[in-house]
Chains A and B, each alone.
Chain A
Amino acid sequence: MNEQVADFRAERTNLTELAGLSKEPVSLEPYRSQEWFEREVNQIFKRAWLCLGREERIANPGDFFVQKIEVAKTDIIVTRTKGGHVRAFHNVCAHRSNKLVLDPEGNASRFICRYHNWTYRNDGELIGVPDQKNFFDLDKKSCGLKPIACDMWEGWIFINLQPEPEVTLEEFLGDFGEIYKGIPYLNADKSILFVSRLKANWKVIADAFAETYHIPAIHPETIGATFASNENPFARPISAQTWGPHRSVSTYGNPAYAPPEKAKVERLFYSNTATGNVLSAASLEDTQVLLQHPAINPTKSESWAVDVTWMFPHFQIDVSPGGFWTHHFWPVSQNETLWESRFHVPDATDIWSRLQQEHYIARLAEILLEDVGNTERTQEGIDSGAMETMPLQDGEVMIRHSLHNVRKWVEAATVREALAK
């Protein structure tokens, strides 16, 4: 573990130095080069373990969802078998390679190809071939669905597009996988989902959620007063940590935040319960369970808002006192990204909690739009070629660490080499 604690009250913090990263401006080529993008696809997205989300999405035997990974031209069926195991397969019929499952999600013990009614059990085995006798010694056992490497960690589903992954998921996660064990993911089975296709490189979008330096500027009204205060006017992080290619920052929350006088609806809707954080829709009891975990808010700061944890390459888990949410940044092209954001919120049980929920989601939508609306303008600026590099400040340490590891993976001949120190 490589934990960096800095005092945001000091004249300057030293997270970048403690993470062992250079302080030089970083190149913008990885954000705009077609050639670099293709190398990222081949060297990163086709070699790294990629998190697809929570297992609660397919809680029951037969539950499945289909995940498209556009840049790899791959459609993946993720299913839970009768025995309770999570398996992943190429969504391709072994007969004439037609797409097998057409629904984005559902429950089915077997999948039937629409082309010639070839039938598979959801563990991949081919169990039905019409007019089988008219084939030539067809061996059904060798004509099952083609599996994709799939493994679980703490209820998170991962896949790996290498036919034989060079490293196990455990090795890929390293110390991070140990330290983040046992975190309660509150309301993991309940989520709302925001989606957008954005004209910006996947890293431009990921970067936008990786630092709080922007908050007082972009979000002055929505959450500016929540993440910054007179004590920390530029929303500096509380601490930062890195583990191999993965990273996390603990962000500052203004403990004195209260809705202003003019926010009559916010005050009314939140008047019946004490929830602590403006980005919160969970109960205090749930919050306490989370707060005790050593990896969450690692310095146990009283001015804590959110831990932003960025799992290499394209997935972020955000944990706050009110629960957690995730971001997937799926690259589409060097300047296009499919962004998916899931917020896990408890079901509303009465009028008060339902009103809070509505206010919470309404504000979230504003914050997210402020974040990603900005990214398309950033991409245009990067593409203009006006700038060769960008200077990054200490609070932007996760962006630097991301670029450092992206480069490592792009240049490394093997995954083990990419993971080496």
Chain B
Amino acid sequence: MPDTTLPAGFESLQPFVRYWAVPGVQERRERREEASMEEITEFYDAMLEKAESAIKLFEGRDLGALEGAELRLMQLLLALAHASMATELHRQPRAPHTPYPHNVRLVKGPPLFG
């Protein structure tokens, strides 16, 4: 069983770790594209509620040194940006009138969590 634990205080987000806590931008994007609106909304609501305290935890920290539970929380927080595309912009999982599947891919992301 992969470790899905999160830092203390973020236990409520544990059910989302296996699906949403993935290493790269393109992977997070794919998770959101493949999810149903119900799944996205459930994650979005839960993560948004904890977002400010997660940001507080990471303020002033060397992000490159994060590992384990903290790294997973960071990945979840980053995935919130992708979930918000569906909930705040499209009001559906993917942009209207766009092809799916498609091959418009991010092949090189930023150095950290890219």
Instruction: Tell me the A residues contacting B by CB distance below 8 Å.
Output: 190-197, 218, 221-222, 262-266, 268-269, 345, 347-348, 350-352, 354-355, 357-359, 361-363, 365-366, 368-370, 372-374, 376
- CB-CB contacts of B35-60 with A at 8 A, as 1s and 0s? 00000000010001001100100111
Contact present for A192 and B109 (CB under 8 Å) = yes
Contact present for A194 and B105 (CB under 8 Å) = yes
B25 at interface by CB-CB < 8 Å: yes
| 10 A-B pairs with C-beta separation under 8 A | A266-B88, A347-B110, A350-B63, A351-B55, A352-B55, A358-B113, A361-B106, A362-B84, A362-B85, A369-B102
- CB-CB contacts of B95-114 with A at 8 A, as 1s and 0s? 10111001111111111111
Contact present for B55 and A366 (CB under 8 Å) = no
> How far apart sit A361 and B105, CA to CA, in the bound complex (Å)?
12
B82 at interface by CB-CB < 8 Å: yes
Residues of B within 8 A of A345 (CB): 110
Say what secondary structure dominates the interface of chain A: helix
B78 at interface by CB-CB < 8 Å: yes
| Smallest CB separation, B72 vs chain A (Å) | 15
> How far apart sit A265 and B77, CA to CA, in the bound complex (Å)?
10
Q: A365-B29, A370-B95, A370-B98 are in contact. Are A358 and B88 (CB under 8 A)?
A: no
Contact present for B55 and A361 (CB under 8 Å) = no
- CB-CB contacts of B51-95 with A at 8 A, as 1s and 0s? 110010011110100000000000001101111110011100001
Contact present for A268 and B25 (CB under 8 Å) = no
Residues of B within 8 A of A362 (CB): 25, 28-29, 81-82, 84-85
| Smallest CB separation, A260 vs chain B (Å) | 8
Contact present for A197 and B103 (CB under 8 Å) = yes
Instruction: Tell me the B residues contacting A by CB distance below 8 Å.
Output: 25, 28-29, 44, 48, 51-52, 55, 58-61, 63, 77-78, 80-85, 88-90, 95, 97-99, 102-114
Q: A268-B51, A354-B113, A361-B25 are in contact. Are A193 and B108 (CB under 8 A)?
A: yes
> How far apart sit A235 and B102, CA to CA, in the bound complex (Å)?
28
Contact present for A266 and B77 (CB under 8 Å) = no
Which among A190, A192, A368 has the greatest number of chain B C-beta atoms within 10 A? A192
Contact present for A265 and B25 (CB under 8 Å) = no
6 closest A-B pairs by CB: A265-B84, A351-B58, A193-B108, A373-B98, A358-B81, A221-B89
| Smallest CB separation, B6 vs chain A (Å) | 16
Q: A221-B90, A362-B25, A365-B29 are in contact. Are A193 and B107 (CB under 8 A)?
A: yes
Residues of B within 8 A of A222 (CB): 89, 95
> How far apart sit A228 and B107, CA to CA, in the bound complex (Å)?
31
Partner of A193, one of B63, B106, B113: B106
Partner of A369, one of B83, B95, B111: B95
Contact present for A265 and B98 (CB under 8 Å) = no
Contact present for A358 and B25 (CB under 8 Å) = yes
Residues of A within 8 A of B98 (CB): 369-370, 373
Q: A222-B89, A361-B25, A376-B99 are in contact. Are A355 and B81 (CB under 8 A)?
A: yes
